[in-house]
């Protein structure tokens, strides 16, 4: 009995344990089944998407950059084929270093390239390609393809890159593209993912920088299948990028090239401008530089050559070169005096070769003087003593006010960055800067464009255009972006009496077309194309008493940096102005007047190209259709 009860007790205990164990297992399997249901049914779509995202990568594709064209549709900045060589480290034989040694026997590789590739190979995944060299010459690329069977791990590749076919001629207008820097990313407010793409190029200067967001286009996309290690298995879909907008400039490339070739050995700035519209047909700064080098990557030697050149090829002298306007400013002095009523065109001042103010003598450029001089003769022969006396009568306040109305002392608003404002002094500025009062002698030298006055070649071109047309015209460089014409207002008339402007213009006509005029020897002899103008020489040093006494002032005999600047402003045709021109040649105030000769030839070429009937190739817009 006791034994039977003992067995019953053990059986009961076992049954309870079995029940608890089976209940626990049921609960565990229930939890597993519930979790599987959640993963596969409730959350199945979400995990499927995550798995798909791990398997499929979306990669951005760089879009073709928009073109930059001149007024006749000639491409000035375009895309060209970029012959590249890539290397996949894991596919090389004997390692990356050995592969580079072998590759160097086929195409040129310098130490800088080798160091970069080795660094990228160490820091990156071995199956991802590394760009070894770009912008290969066709001969090198062809030789690479020929030797490819003996170059394991090396891959030839053809892409696109920016190309500037006219190199130095338009470098300062177009600017250039270069690799994106950390500062570029920090300044970018658009959040454009293109900036993160390896090898993407960003506009750094000139038109490329101003209109970069329009020109760069919109990224395309490539969907690729990858394995767990990120290795590409196949491409599933490709959507090409959308090309950037084309930009049409007002520049005439042939005129631009003509002027550049004539000035390329000088340090100079020049501009040719449409008097009616403000369109810039040429904007030249010499010497230039090759913008293609910045796209590829400037070497240390190239950078040293650019920054060590005393002609400063990286400075856009047309916009940022600061020069005293010299005698070209006498047109401003004359107009200010006529408007103030302190002289008439018939007012005569005597020039004996020097004008005395207190104990100081202010000399004329002509030893012995010009004798009795009126306004027309004063501008025609560029008499300094005449304009000393005119400036003394008109005063510095009226001079600086007239200069500003004629476009000096303030930025012109041109569409490319880097423009400087020039400088027109005032008595208040001198008191604040030097803690000294303005002196009458400073008014005299200001009247002939010396002293504190500074201008840029583009501002001088605006001065010539405003004198010629009588309107407050401003320069423009861009006509349209894509299919949209860049909006601009209609210029207002200058706040000067037409009779005053006519008197100054007539004197400029005499300067270039009457015997004795300072530009007469280099006039346009074809009457329908005749030009008007004003020569200028800006001193960069004080002429000593000994030089004045001996008359030895030949610029040609002086070191380059001590020579006077040579300047010229002009317009043509003389009787009905259409084009204005300004040229400044640093230390180029030579007896042969190369600045006047080039202005003559540039104005003549602009007029003759105009009568050929060539019409700009700008896109036809809604605004154009209404005209």
Which residues on adjacent β-strands are paired with residue 357? 360
| CA–CA separation, 195 and 208 (whole Å) | 15
Phi, psi of 145 (to 5 degrees): -65, -35
219 with 46: CB under 8 angstroms? no
Measured CA to CA in angstroms, residue 30 lies from 20, 34, 35 at distances of 15, 6, 8
| CA–CA separation, 551 and 20 (whole Å) | 124
| CA–CA separation, 577 and 502 (whole Å) | 12
Phi, psi of 68 (to 5 degrees): -120, 125
* Count, residues in the chain: 627
Measured CA to CA in angstroms, residue 74 lies from 78, 252, 481, 602, 612 at distances of 10, 9, 15, 20, 17
| 28 class by beta-carbon count within 10 Å (0-12 exposed, 13-18 middle, 19+ buried) | exposed
| 131 class by beta-carbon count within 10 Å (0-12 exposed, 13-18 middle, 19+ buried) | middle
| CA–CA separation, 463 and 406 (whole Å) | 5
512 with 531: CB under 8 angstroms? yes
Strands 565-572 and 579-585: antiparallel
| CA–CA separation, 425 and 438 (whole Å) | 10
327 an active-site residue? yes
Taking the mean position of all CA atoms in its chain, how far away is CA 544?
40
82 with 158: CB under 8 angstroms? yes
Q: Any residues with CB less than 8 A from the CB of 23 and at least 6 apart, and which?
A: none
Q: Which tokens go with 574?
A: 């003389």
SS3 601: helix
Q: Which residue is catalytic, options 267, 285, 327, 402?
A: 327
Strands 247-249 and 68-69: parallel
**Cα torsion through 23, 24, 28, 30, rounded to 10:** 20
588 with 600: CB under 8 angstroms? no
Residue with tokens 């005749």: 530
289 with 307: CB under 8 angstroms? no
| CA–CA separation, 396 and 425 (whole Å) | 8
Q: Any residues with CB less than 8 A from the CB of 515 and at least 6 apart, and which?
A: none
Phi, psi of 197 (to 5 degrees): -75, 130
Catalytic residue numbers read 327
């Amino acid at each position: 009995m006791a034994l039977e009860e003992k067995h019953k007790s053990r059986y009961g205990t076992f049954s309870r344990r079995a029940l608890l164990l089976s209940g626990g297992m049921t609960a565990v399997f229930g939890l597993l089944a519930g979790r599987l249901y959640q993963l596969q049914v409730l959350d199945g779509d979400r995990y499927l998407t995550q798995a798909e995202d791990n398997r499929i990568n979306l990669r951005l594709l760089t879009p073709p950059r928009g073109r930059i064209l001149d007024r006749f549709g000639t491409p000035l900045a375009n895309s060209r084929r970029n012959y590249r060589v890539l290397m996949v480290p894991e596919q090389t034989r004997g390692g990356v270093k050995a592969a580079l040694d072998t590759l160097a026997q086929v195409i040129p590789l310098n130490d800088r390239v080798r160091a970069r590739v080795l660094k990228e190979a160490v820091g990156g995944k071995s199956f991802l390609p590394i760009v070894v060299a770009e912008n290969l010459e066709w001969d090198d690329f062809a030789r690479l393809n020929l030797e490819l069977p003996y170059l394991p791990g090396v891959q030839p590749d053809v892409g696109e890159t920016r190309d500037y076919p006219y190199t130095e001629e338009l470098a300062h207008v177009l600017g250039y593209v270069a690799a994106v820097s950390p500062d570029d990313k920090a300044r970018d407010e658009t959040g454009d993912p293109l900036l993160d793409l390896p090898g993407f190029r960003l506009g750094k200067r000139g038109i490329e920088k101003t209109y970069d967001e329009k020109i760069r286009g919109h990224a395309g996309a490539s969907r690729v299948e990858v394995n767990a290690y990120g290795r590409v298995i196949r491409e599933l879909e490709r959507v090409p990028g959308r090309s950037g907008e084309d930009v049409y400039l007002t520049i005439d490339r042939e005129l631009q090239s003509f002027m550049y070739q004539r000035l390329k050995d000088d340090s100079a700035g020049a501009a040719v401008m449409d008097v009616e519209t403000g369109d810039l047909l040429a904007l030249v700064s010499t010497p230039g530089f090759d913008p293609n080098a910045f796209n590829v990557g400037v070497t240390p030697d190239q950078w040293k050559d650019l920054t060590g050149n005393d002609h400063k090829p990286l400075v856009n002298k047309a916009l940022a070169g600061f020069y005293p306007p010299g005698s070209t400013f006498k047109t401003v002095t004359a107009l200010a005096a006529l408007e103030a009523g302190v002289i008439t065109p018939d007012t005569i001042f005597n020039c004996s070769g020097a004008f005395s103010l207190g104990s100081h003598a202010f000399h004329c450029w002509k030893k012995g003087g010009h004798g009795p001089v009126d306004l027309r003769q004063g501008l025609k022969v560029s008499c300094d003593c005449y304009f000393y006396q005119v400036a003394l009568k008109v005063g510095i306040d009226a001079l600086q006010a007239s200069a500003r109305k004629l476009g000096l002392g303030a930025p012109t608003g041109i569409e490319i960055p880097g423009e400087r404002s020039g400088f027109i002094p005032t008595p208040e500025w001198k008191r604040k800067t030097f803690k000294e009062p303005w002196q009458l002698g400073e008014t005299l030298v200001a009247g002939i464009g010396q002293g504190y006055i500074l201008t840029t070649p583009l501002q001088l071109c605006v001065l010539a255009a405003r004198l010629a047309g009588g309107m407050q015209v401003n320069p423009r460089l861009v006509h349209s972006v894509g299919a949209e014409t860049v909006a601009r207002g209609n210029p207002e008339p200058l706040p000067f009496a037409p009779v005053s402007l006519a008197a100054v213009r007539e004197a400029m006509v005499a300067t270039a077309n009457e015997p004795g005029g300072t530009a007469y020897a280099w006039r346009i002899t074809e009457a329908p194309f005749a030009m008007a103008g004003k020569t200028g020489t800006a001193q960069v040093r004080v002429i000593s008493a000994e030089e004045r006494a001996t008359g030895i002032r030949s610029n040609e005999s002086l070191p380059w940096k001590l020579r006077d600047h040579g300047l010229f402003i002009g317009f043509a045709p003389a009787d009905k102005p259409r084009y204005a021109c300004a040229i400044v040649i640093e230390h180029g105030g030579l007896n042969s007047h190369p600045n006047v000769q080039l202005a003559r030839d540039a104005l003549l070429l602009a007029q003759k190209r105009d009568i050929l009937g060539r019409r700009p190739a700008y896109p036809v817009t809604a605004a154009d259709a209404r005209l």
